[in-house]
Amino acid sequence: MFERILIATDGSDSVSRSVAVALDFAERFDASVYALTVVDSGEIDSAPDQIRQQLHDALAEQADEALSSVTDATDKPVTTAVREGRPATEISSYAREIDADIVATGTRGRHGENRFLLGSVAERVVRTCPVAVLTVRQLDGTADSDLAADA
């Protein structure tokens, strides 16, 4: 049913459950795992000139950490990628490139609760992605070890 699962992550606590659920799917269906994080070029472009490079470096480091959290959470091989651009656009584009069967993402990322039910990136991915999108809500007070049982 699922051969290629794309995990879209920004490394925030609010996406940890979506990573766990996606890895559980990958295990159950013996699917290949891809993990993507996007350095938001809009954040960099809107920063003052003096700190753009520092911000870019910090976001790139955060991206590497986000991908490491996925690879560290599984024994399966994970193909990782970092893209720069608009997150929803890059996620959809990468899903097409790898011929993903499903994209797993959290409902809110680093920017918190700026939407009532879905974060703005998750909402755009759901509306524009050419493949199925699994949005996973972070449950308050849920330990990582309990995540797969709740999925």
Higher pLDDT, 73 or 120: 73
Task: Please write the tens of the pLDDT for every residue from 59-117.
Answer: 999 999 999 999 999 999 999 999 999 999 999 999 999 999 999 999 865 444 443 44
142's tokens: 């849920």
Query: What structural domains does the chain harbor?
Result: 4-150 (3.40.50.12370)
